[in-house]
Amino acid sequence: MRFKNISEDTRTKYKSTLLECILLLVISSKVSCIPMEKTNHVNSCDSRVHAYKNGKTMEQCKEEARENTRVLSKELLENGEVSWTRVLDTAGHDELVYKLTLKYLRQQGYDIGNNKIPRVKPNTGL
């Protein structure tokens, strides 16, 4: 047993808090659980909505990445290839938007390359 030196009251309190956090995580993906020792609150679930670069929410970053994907898809049709630098410039040097853009391009069937070949091009292996 992992909790040999912990009293039954403490175990019950941790189990109760963990159960509350799990329930909140199931209900909303924007909830994170923080260990009780790191907060001054009795309950340790934190339901803040996180802001990313420039104060954007995750949904705003996803929408911007979808728009970037549309723009880059047109460029890929015209030029046949787009560098990762171009993707980064299109994302406004926002790391989250950049990664989401690459993810969406991959979901559309493009070959997004790798660290040795940093470019996006239509997937010819299909």
The CATH number assigned to the domain holding 71 equals: 1.10.10
Whether residue 2 is contained in a domain is answered as no
Residues sharing a CB contact under 8 Å with residue 104, sequence separation 6 or more, in sequence order: 65, 66, 69
Residue span of the structural domain in which 31 resides: 8-46
| Pair (59, 94) in one structural domain | yes
CB atoms within 10 A of CB 103: 14
- Specify the number of domains making up the chain: 2
69: confidence class by pLDDT, cuts 50, 70, 90: very high
| Pair (58, 92) in one structural domain | yes
| Mean pLDDT within 28-56 | 52
| Pair (16, 76) in one structural domain | no
Strand partners, 120: 82
| Pair (61, 85) in one structural domain | yes
pLDDT tens per residue across span 74-107: 999 999 999 999 999 999 999 999 999 999 999 9
| Mean pLDDT within 31-39 | 45
Higher pLDDT, 30 or 66: 66
To the nearest whole percent, how much of the chain has pLDDT over 70?
59
| Pair (68, 95) in one structural domain | yes
123: confidence class by pLDDT, cuts 50, 70, 90: confident
| pLDDT over threshold 70, residue 11 | no
Q: To the nearest 5 percent, what fractions of the chain are helix, strand and coil?
A: 55, 10, 35
| Pair (20, 73) in one structural domain | no
| Pair (96, 77) in one structural domain | yes
Whether residue 26 is contained in a domain is answered as yes
pLDDT at res. 46: 42
